[in-house]
Amino acid sequence: MNKTVIECNGIAAGYVKGLNILQGVDLIVDEKEIVSIIGPNGAGKSTLLKAIMGIINISGGRFFINGVEKTNTPTHQIVSEGVGYVPQVENVFPSLTIEENLEIGSWSVKGNIKQTISKLYDDFPMLKERHKDKAGNLSGGQRQILALARALVTSPSILLLDEPSAGLSPVAIKEVFEIVKEINSRGVAILLVEQNATRALNFSDRGYVLDQGRNAYQGKGQELLDDPRVIDLYLGKL
């Protein structure tokens, strides 16, 4: 039986006080798993990631990392608990160089940062080549790779990805997903929010379908793909 990394129990949260987007969501991610969250626009997928990261306030329910309660813990402390997060937008520091982006990513890391960064450079040669370039000058796909690398500097045990494919070309999407698969194969659990449900579920061990801030369905990736209710509601006829 695998250890549970992240557990959400009836999470309620929103951007404005008294107006919750999430109305009691349950979710579990075990170590080394790839779990995706799908659902229509406004279902609360990205909001759930922000609530976990402590970017927005959790107004109900409880949230645990490795079995320890972390409800409403400040963001920077969630990061030191081994949670990495790549937001959908604003996921690099545009006025900082690539190297500085990685240095900032390693803020909470103690020990030899230079060595960690040079190891990342081996995995992502593009970043090494352009390490003195400002991140604002990168293409969308390159930015996404830098954003992933920035989140990896801390050697997290779980990585939260908010629509990593948004706005990317098909080639770049393929590359990003290959990288995510590779990260997972090294033992990092992945919690993925995706707009493209078919791709997400094909890619994942398990999936959660959210609707209007609540759990609608959940199950193994392939099972959800074949579930006629899910197909009807969210995927359209295939």
Partner 1 sequence: MIEQLGNGLLLGIIIAVASVALSLLYGVTRIVNFAHGEIIALGAIATLFLSSPVDSRVIFLDRFSPLGNNFYISVVISVILCGLLGGILEFFLFRPLRKAEVGNIAVLVVTIGLSLFLRHIYLLFNAKPQNFPLELQRRETYLFFDMTPRNFRVLILGIFVMVLIGLFLNYTRIGKAMRAVRDSNDLASVSGINSDNIILFTWISSSMLAGLAGVFQATINDVRYNMGFLILLLIFAGTVLGGIGTSFGAMVGGFIIGIVVNVSVGLPFMEGHTEAKNAVALAIMILILLFRPQGIFGEKERVS
Contacting residues toward partner 1, per CB under 8 A: 53-55, 74-76, 79-80, 85, 87, 90-96, 100, 103-105, 107-109, 136-140, 143, 150-151, 154, 167
The owner of tokens 């609530």 is 51
- Sheet holding 206-211: strands in order across? 83-86, 158-162, 189-193, 34-38, 206-211, 214-220
Signed CA dihedral, 206, 184, 73, 65: sign only: positive
Q: How many CB atoms lie within 10 A of CB 109?
A: 16
Strand duo 214-220 + 206-211: pairing: antiparallel
Nearest CB to partner 1, comparing residues 72 and 218: 72
Residue closer to partner 1 (CB basis): 50 or 206: 50
CB of 5 to partner 1, least distance (A): 17
Measured from the CB atom, the residue of 32 and 143 that comes closer to partner 1 is 143
Query: Considering the complex, what minimum distance in angstroms separates the CB of residue 233 from partner 1?
Result: 31
Q: Smallest distance from the beta carbon of 210 to partner 1, in angstroms?
A: 21
User: Which one, 42 or 136, has the nearer CB to partner 1?
Assistant: 136
Six token digits for residue 203: 């890619």
